[in-house]
Amino acid sequence: MIIPQEVRSVSLWQVALVLGVVYVAHKLLKSYRVRARSTPLAMPPRPSWFFGVSRLIINNPDASSMYEDWVQQFGSVFKIPAPLGGTRVILTDPKAIAHFYSVETWTYVQTKLSRVAIENLFGRGLLWAEGESHKRQRKAISPAFSNVAIRRLTSIFYDSVYKLKTNWDNQLASVDSALIDVETWMNHVSLDSIGIAGFSHDFGSLEGKRAAVAEVFDAMGRLKPSPITAIVILFGNALPILWRLPTETRKLQTKLNRAMEEIAVPLLENTRKEMRGLGEKGKEEKSIIGLLIKAEDTESSLQMSQEEIMAQMKVLILAGYETTSISLTWALIELSRKPEMQVRLREELKEQFPGSDPTWEQLTNGAGLHYLDAVVHEILRIHAPLAVTTRVAAKDDVIPLSQPLRLPNGELTDHIAVAEGQEVTVPIGYVNTARSVWGEDAREFRPERWLTPEGLPKKAQEVQGHRHLLTFVDGHRMCLGRGFALAEFKAVLGVLIKNYSFELPDGPETKIEYCRGVLPRPRVAGEKGACVPMRVRRVD
């Protein structure tokens, strides 16, 4: 083929320049369309066209305070500047949030970066799916998280925490106290529990075995932020291909994916053999994934592909390991900051169950463990593992408001219009701790607020979700595993507080900071990685 001279003379930078102009023009046209079909909302000044306010939020350990300031200035719904000249609508109005979650997976879907990241890390499972695919997968998985199924798993939580107890008792056999990194042990308990309960695999981390999955999670907690990772986070929605850059985080995520597949494939093969009569007989299948696979044939319309089942297994590991261990660690931190609350919880546990442990029914329905329930929900309120939900509108929408909102032009409105392509965020961490919702003591750890009906402000009771919290989100994507998580949280924390006392290394004033893992984790300031050493003593 003969290439004209004028074409051959075009340089690479000229091509790049043309493509850049086309891209900017496309972004401007899209931005104009969104603005033209959206309600004009108030917005803080844009500090940077490239970064918006993202750097301010990422670098601020108390992002909730920023949201609090913006709500006071602009009202319960407003916009913030996003990277590359974009904007993001922020919802803090309870009715608006309820509407958002009620139409999620249909009207509001994952952002481009989230879709690419989730598919690469987990595959096309429930976390990735939208619309009818999400509805089908969720319906197929739901029976594995029923009360009947979780009741059978409660003994696994106790088995794990008593393995921990055996180890700690050995360490304390000849000494009054020991300095123990409790976060590492909460990781071990959570990993072994989800391994057995989730898919009949014993990681053995409580017995000293090194699991590849745990090593990757630990390495993520020790990673230092890199400029490339920051670029991926900031600009990934506009350029999802950035996710494929070989960052250290990406390399670890690939390693995590490989490690999870090494566990998932043999389980699937063994379960399939058992279903065909070729595998091990005589044992009751209790694991979540095992029950899911066995239930496939009962309704062919709900049958999931092997790729989808593998994806659910990977999500189970992440959700069961990361979120539970983080919550347990925060519980021990807060109870060490308030020793009198630790004593009160221990007295309740010893009074109600002096020589035994509560059953699943007793953990779930109270049975006198009201303070345990209050502590658990207060931790979930002020330390939600996932701080935000961000989606993009798949079509134009009208969002209702619980109270009129004053727009920049002075008009009042009881709804806002959102255009297709607009990013929308629900700041979970802020709403869970907003003073305008929970009162002036919203940022304080105060379990007592859960002990009486009047303890929760009326505004908080307007928030939909589990116990008026957004920690498990709401609507079509409300966490299926919340019953599992709550049962494990209560069972493990109950055994620990009943048998041990905990003190932070420098007392209640010990500084705690966040470090990055798959999810943000706490650590004692000055420690390398996600480490929370505590002075642990046995109690009679």
- Compute the residue count for the chain: 540
**Residue 426 host element (H or E):** strand 423-426
Residue 60 sits at φ, ψ, to 5 deg, of -100, 115
Numbered residues of the known binding site:
479
Q: How far apart are CA 14 and CA 19, in angstroms?
A: 9
How does 441-477 read in b/e, with b if 16+ C-beta sit within 10 Å? ebeebbbebbeeeeebbeebeebbbbbbbbbbbbbbb
**Ramachandran quadrant class, 21 (left: phi over 0; alpha: psi -120 to 50; beta: rest):** alpha
CA distances in angstroms from 247 to 58, 225, 253, 400, 523, listed in the order given: 18, 10, 10, 41, 24
- Residue 530 and residue 522: Cα distance in Å, rounded? 6
State how far the alpha carbon of 309 is from the alpha carbons of 140, 285, 483, in Å.
Answer: 10, 16, 21
Q: Output the known binding site for heme.
A: 479
Return the closest-CA partner of residue 384 out of 318, 330, 457: 330
Region of residue 535 (phi > 0: left; psi between -120 and 50: alpha; otherwise: beta) = beta
What is the number of helices (H) and of strands (E) in the chain?
A: 22, 12
Nearest to 301 by CA among 458, 137, 464: 137
End-to-end CA distance of the chain: 88
- CA-CA distance, 29 to 501, in Å (whole number)? 61
Is residue 533 helix, strand or coil?
Answer: strand
Compute the distance between CA of residue 236 and CA of residue 243 in angstroms, rounded to an integer: 7
Please give the Cα distance from 215 to 7 (Å, whole number).
53
